[in-house]
Amino acid sequence: MSVYDQIAEAQAAAVGEIEKTSDLESLKAIEPMLFGKKSTLGGLKRLMGEVDAQERADVGQALNEAQLFVRDAHEAAKKKFELSDRRAQLETERLDLTESLHVANRGHLHLVTQTMERLEDVFVGMGFTVSEGPQAETDWYNFEALNLPAAHPARSMFDTLYLDLGERTEIGDGEGGEATNILLRTHTSPVQVRVMESTAPPIYTVCPGRVFRRDTADASHMPVFHQIEGLVVDRGISLADLAGTLNEFTAAYFGGAISSRLRPSYFPFTEPSAEFDITCVICEGEGCQTCQRTGWIELGGCGMVHPNVLANCGVDSEEWTGFAFGFGIDRLALMRYGIKDLRDMYTNDVRFLEQF
């Protein structure tokens, strides 16, 4: 038998052994027979010494090729067994992912808080800070400083809830001018006054928060609701600045299709005063039932801060001018989701709250 025949026979025998294995374990068991010095092919290395020097290289190559062939056959068998093992393993691990059991959901912020934070974020983006103040206020901060002295007829615009301070209560129309009535703020404007008192201009701030009116709850009124007001006091602030700021806010909050406009109005704390309307968000200005076919909906009030208010807060109205604006947060929340009844937001029914 030639050297080459011996090599071929040994190779065939090794491959035959590989073919007889059935899994990784039996494959592993025959590995000493396939590789290394003790294997048949390894044993044939001795033939190298038995042939001529010139034939040695050819025999060496034949041996190498045979070894490579066996190695490939072994590798292929190993891969095959690993794959079938993995398949078997995966099959045992199969899951129905829809079998997940009930677990508590993540919670939710109240719709009003979500709306308030959205508004704050828009104004922060426009360079404003956010200011806060107490909900129980003095008559001075809620009314008098805002150019609403005790007998001012416009006070009747605000149905005010007063606190009972026992003997310290001074109720009535406070004609003595020394009224120290304590009340629940009817707007967040007292925060504006407090900011102006304590901060030197320039001021760019918004005052979101809870406000109170002596109003019976119905679909569009609550005795407790939320407002955001804005205040800018700086050199050379104009009515055009107010219009531009409200436009910028409107586009940022409602989107580019919605714009704002000003209409002359009256508030004791601003002069000139305006109502600001935005494009109807339902019909985008085409005219619909919500906007009474005008294409506009009234959002809030605004104007240039009245010089008396600036003076009351110790701000020189010749050097500084300012504008202020305000609108309801609850109504924005209703508008966004088409909620019909304001009271639904305050029943605290989790079936309502967890929708937002």
x-or-dash pattern for Zn ion, window 115-144, by CB under 5 A? Answer: ------------------------------
Indicate the residue among 59 and 280 with the shorter CB distance to Zn ion: 280
Q: By CB under 8 A, what part of segment 131-160 binds another protein?
A: 132, 134-138, 151, 153-154, 156
Q: Which of 322, 138, 281, 127 has the alpha carbon at shortest distance from 205?
A: 127
Closest CA to 207 of 144, 129, 102, 280: 129
Burial grade of 198 (CB within 10 A; 0-12, 13-18, 19 or more): exposed
Instruction: Show contacts with Zn ion in window 223-282 (CB under 5 A).
Output: 280, 282
Closest to another protein by CB, 3 vs 150, is 150
Please name the residue that has the structure tokens 């504006």.
192
* Cα 87 to chain centroid, rounded: 43
Q: Report residue 282 CA to chain centroid gap.
A: 24
Question: Measured between alpha carbons, how far is residue 144 from residues 167, 193, 264, 309, 349 in Å?
Answer: 22, 10, 23, 9, 39
Count of residues engaged in binding another protein, rule: CB under 8 A: 86
Would you state the structure tokens that stand for residue 66, as one six-digit string?
């045979």
Binder of another protein out of 4, 35, 204, 253 (CB under 8 A): 204
| DSSP label of 221 | B
Footprint of another protein on residues 270-329 (CB under 8 A)? 271-275, 304, 306-307, 321
Using CB distances below 5 to 8 A depending on partner kind, what does residue 288 bind out of another protein, Zn ion, none?
Zn ion
Task: Please report whether residue 171 would count as binding another protein according to CB under 8 A.
Answer: yes
Taken as a whole, the chain contains a residue count of: 356
Q: Which lies closer to another protein via its Cβ, residue 40 or residue 245?
A: 245
Q: Does 59 bind another protein (CB under 8 A)?
A: no
Site for Zn ion in 285-304 (CB under 5 A): 288, 290-291
250 binds another protein (CB under 8 A): no
Of 26, 199, 220, 265, the one binding another protein (CB under 8 A) is: 265
For Zn ion, the binding residue among 283, 298, 308, 336 (CB under 5 A) is 283
Of residues 51 and 252, the one with the C-beta less far from another protein: 252
Pairing relationship of beta strands 321-328 and 224-234 according to DSSP bridges: antiparallel
Pairing verdict, β 203-212 and 224-234: antiparallel
Taking the CA atoms of the chain, what radius of gyration do you get in angstroms? 42
Give whichever of 224 and 283 is closer to Zn ion, judged by the CB atom.
283
- The Cα 142–Cα 238 span in angstroms is 25
282 binds, among Zn ion, another protein, none (CB under 5 to 8 A by kind): Zn ion
130 binds another protein (CB under 8 A): yes
Residue 317's CB is within 10 A of a number of other CB atoms, namely 17
Using the 8-state DSSP alphabet, how is residue 114 labeled?
Answer: H
Binding mask 67-106 for another protein (x = CB under 8 A): -------------------------------------xxx
Q: Which residues bind Zn ion (CB under 5 A)?
A: 280, 282-283, 288, 290-291
